[in-house]
Structure 1
Amino acid sequence: MPTFDAMIAQHVVVAADPSTTFRAARSLDLLTVRTPLLTASMWIRGLPARMSGKAAPPLPRLVVGEGLRLQGWLELGILPDREIAFGAVGKFWLPVIEWREVMPEDFSAFAEPGWGKIAANFSVMRYGEHSTLLSYQCRTVTTDPESRRQFLHYWWLIRPFVTHIMRATVNKIKGNAESAARQQG
């Protein structure tokens, strides 16, 4: 997504090789990332759906490397041991998110007015002799001026929470990768 309305990134140095770190990123169940603030923010975010009776049943798992065909999320591409990209199309700024199903091959060109697209990735690169730089980047673009206006108002409010969630996510991957590296010796 070369042009975007909002972008955020988190980086962390991991005491594990790139391959081990990539496997940890690719196998992470995003639903296992937990902090008190994350739990509270997700509870608040889901409140309008629960109050309207439109709450989706809880997801069993949300693993990037398993194709992510859940609630609008999809895998967009993979460079083995280097990067995995995933995304979603939706109206994120609504009290109850409306997801739009698209095929991965249609994601880049999708431009129907009224929607936003999120493209995110985990990438790894060697950092020194025995470490890896893990990056998590997320970009959002909207498909028309009114959607952009609505999204940017929403983004102003949620950006600190997204930053926290992304930081917690890279730290969870780091912990998993470093644990795997210790087990490998």
Structure 2
Amino acid sequence: MLIDEVLGRWDFREVHTLVVPAPPQTVWEAAQALEAGDVPVARILMAIRTLPGLARRRGGPRPAPRPRSAPRTLREAMAGTFVPLAELPGRETVSGAAGQWWKPAAPFVRLAGPEEFHSFRTPGHLRAAVNLRVTPHPRGALLHTETRVAAVDPRTRRVFAPYWYLLARPFGGLIRRAALRAVARRALAAEPAPGA
């Protein structure tokens, strides 16, 4: 797996899989086309996640409203925080980020690309890699996503552990399972009906 090359050692890990009764290429294309709106639970949880930061800014200048635009793919929506790290077209893609996600504003570090991700070692931070992999399965395709998080230092590992087990893992897992089901719906909708 490409994720092994990107983040072979980690402190926290979560894996989700789903068998989709559709050809692997169809499932891959559905995953690449997944839109942020296809996973409403993600938008809801992310909005809740930003509330502490909004409460602290209360009374200060309000940010300009974002212009409404056409639906973006989930990949594009993640581009502000996660950078593409590796890809095997049609099989696996890996994205990564660095930050301090247990803090109220969940600050991300803006990384320039794979080289900066691999060399990032700022104390008090985490690095995370997330993959999406599609492989052939006797019933169609196996859709797999894995999240790995590595702390830069032991203190950060200890500080982050409660947040991981109480919030990040359960709610992140909820988002990832919903995303896999959304990919499956897209893939099945793209497949012609039997006998058509």
Q: What TM-score do you get using the length of structure 2 for normalisation?
A: 0.81
Map of 1:49 onto structure 2: 53
**Cα pair 1:67 1:74 within 8 Å, conserved:** no
Residue 99 of structure 2 corresponds to 90
Q: Which amino acid aligns with 2:98?
A: V
Q: What is the root-mean-square deviation in Å for CA atoms of aligned residues?
A: 2.5
Match of 2:74 in 1: 63
In structure 2, the residue matched to 1:101 is: 110
Q: Deviations over 1:57-110 (max 9, x none)?
A: 76963532x59531x211111101100111111110101111111122221232
Task: State the alpha-carbon separation in 2 of the partners of residues 183 and 104 from structure 1.
Answer: 41
In structure 2, distance between residues paired with 1:183 and 1:172: 19
Find the structure with the greater CA-based Rg.
2
Number of corresponding residues: 180
Within the alignment, does 1:18 sit opposite 2:27 as a pair?
Answer: no
Match of 2:159 in 1: 150
Q: What SS class does the counterpart of residue 157 from structure 2 fall into?
A: helix
Matches for 1:98-177 after TM superposition, within 5 Å = 98-102=107-111, 103-128=113-138, 131-158=140-167, 159-177=169-187
- C-alpha change, 1:40 and 1:26, in structure 2 (3 Å) is closer
SS at match of 1:7: strand
Tell me the amino acid that sits aligned with residue 142 of structure 2. L
Segments of 5+ residues of structure 2 without an aligned counterpart are: 1-6
Alignment of 1:66-77 (within 5 A): 66=76, 68-70=78-80, 72-77=81-86
Distance in 2 between the 1:40 and 1:19 partners?
Answer: 30
1:137 Cα offset (Å): 0.7
Distance 1:42 1:116 in 2: 19
- The whole-number CA distance in structure 1 between the counterparts of 2:125 and 2:189 is 40
- Given the alignment of the two structures, is residue 5 of structure 1 paired with residue 6 of structure 2, yes or no? no
The two structures have a TM-score, normalised by structure 1, of 0.86
**Matched AA of 1:74:** V
Identity %: 31
Q: How far off its partner does 1:40 sit?
A: 4.8
| Per-residue CA distance 1:119-147 (angstroms, 9 max, x = gap) | 0011011101x500000111111101121
Single out whichever of 40-49 and 169-178 deviates more from structure 2.
Answer: 40-49
